[in-house]
Amino acid sequence: MTIHLSALRDRLNDALTRATEVESQLADPAVTGNASRFAALGREHRRLAAVVEHAARLDRVAHELEGSRELAASDDAEFADEARADVERLEAEQEQLEKSLLPLLIPRDPLDDRPAIVEIRAGTGGDEAGLFAGDLHRMYSRYIERRGWRLELMSWSDGTMGGVKEAIFKVLGDGAFGVLRWESGVHRVQRVPATENQGRIHTSAATVAVLPEAEEVDVRIEDKDLRIDVFRSSGPGGQSVNTTDSAVRITHIPTGIVVSQQDQKSQLQNKMKAMEVLRSRLLDLRLSELEAERSRMRKSQVSTGDRSAKIRTYNFPQGRVTDHRIGLTLYDIDRVMEGDLAPFVDALALADAEERLRA
């Protein structure tokens, strides 16, 4: 779908006006003295700064394009050919700028600026599924590093043959949840496993859930709704392993959600980490219910409401990765597995913005 800036002019003008207002408010002593208000305006200012930058580049390209189109009508054939080449280049640049501007003009979900909690679990496929879950963890780690974000490991459960049964980690960085939220779903892999002697291609899967970090004010948890069990840690963990009841299992009775945590050294630390994950899962449950209701109202192309949906296939023999929601296929699987997720991230953000603009 080609996006025309004229259809977005009102939104762009509103955003530029708001950028001026935010700059003024950030200089107000009454605002600088209010830490939470100042932080919120700071996040908005960073987002709007990208809009201002894009608008300036669009104006520059539009001005150059106008001049090149005039020159393309010149009687000098060589001169006109060069100008037409400039027109073609500038039109492509203009279209790309308009596409990247669109997501910036759509009202953001306040949760998008939150840190993200990512849960990766081996699915169907036995040992190969665990190996693929480990590959996904590495892929996201590389992407997080590329973005200049920080990864904080919360829980890790080894699988067989060096694979991963479950990995839970927090991603801290500007807009982490807003960027990673589209990764939720079933990721399928097609390749020849290391244990396969006949050279046959196997299909395995791993699930990814991306949750916004929940604050205590988001979810109210009553003590009476919790059952807390303690047990001895197992696996790597130092001298305290199997000597003290430091591991914690928390069951939220109303929903049946169970969170186990044993990676920290003390029972208190494990309980705090488990409660952090529990709050995020409860918030995600509430958001999923809202998403399901929204999806009943209208079809959503990149909805994250159904976590059982197959969203992406990684086909190693053909070297391709396909995102089934937007029909995007890249024949560069090595780069993707090294964390180059930008083409998918950008395309999913654009698809969502286009849908919301039409709604």
Spatial CB neighbours of 174, under 8 Å, sequence gap ≥ 6: 43, 46, 113
For residue 86, give the 3-state DSSP assignment. Answer: helix
Q: pLDDT (tens digit, 0 to 9) for every residue of the chain, 359 residues total?
A: 444 455 577 788 888 999 999 999 999 988 888 887 888 888 788 888 988 998 999 899 999 999 999 888 888 888 888 989 999 999 999 888 888 888 888 777 778 888 999 999 999 988 999 999 999 999 999 999 999 999 999 888 998 888 999 999 999 998 899 999 999 999 999 999 877 777 889 999 999 999 988 877 678 888 899 999 888 766 544 444 445 678 899 999 999 999 988 877 788 888 888 898 998 888 888 877 766 655 544 444 455 445 567 999 999 999 999 999 999 999 999 999 999 999 999 899 888 887 777 65
d(CA 235, CA 263): 9
- Residue 118's contacts (CB-CB under 8 Å, 6 or more residues apart) are 140, 168, 169, 170, 171, 180, 183, 208, 209, 210, 211
Whether 11 is in a domain gets the answer: yes
User: Does residue 26 belong to any structural domain of this protein?
Assistant: yes
Report the amino acid identity of residue 270.
Answer: N
Same domain (yes/no): 63, 117: no
Can you give the pLDDT at residue 216? Answer: 72
Range of the domain at 17: 5-105
Positive or negative, the CA dihedral 316, 317, 319, 324 is: negative
Q: Are residues 230 and 205 both part of a single domain?
A: no
Tell me the CATH number at 86.
Answer: 1.20.58.410
**Same domain membership, residue 243 and residue 206:** no
Q: Structural domain tally of the chain? A: 3
One-letter-per-residue 3-state SS of 106-139:
CCCCHHHHCCEEEEEEECCCCHHHHHHHHHHHHH
Residue with tokens 């780069």: 335
Question: Domain of 258: which CATH number?
Answer: 3.30.160.20
In a shared domain, residues 181 and 95: no
Identify the H or E element spanning 353: helix 342-358
Question: What's the count of helices (H) and strands (E) in the chain, helices before strands?
Answer: 9, 11
**Residue 292 is assigned to a structural domain of this protein:** no
CA–CA dist 59, 257 (Å, integer): 52
| CATH code, 122 | 3.30.70.1660
CA dihedral of 15, 345, 65, 4, whole degrees rounded to 10: -60
The pTM of this model reads: 0.71
Q: Identify whether 293 is part of a domain.
A: no
Instruction: Tell which of 84, 105, 126 closes a domain.
Output: 105
Is 173 part of any domain?
A: yes
Q: Which residue in the block uniquely carries the two structure tokens 């997501």?
A: 103
- Residue 296 falls within a domain, yes or no? no
Q: What is the Cα–Cα distance from 268 to 287, expressed in whole angstroms? A: 29
- Provide the strand spans (E) within 55-132: 116-122
**Same domain membership, residue 272 and residue 138:** no
200 and 137 part of one domain: yes
Quick check: is 194 in a domain? Answer: yes
Has residue 126 been placed in a domain? yes
Q: Are residues 25 and 98 in the same domain?
A: yes
Final residue belonging to a domain, choices 231, 256, 287: 287
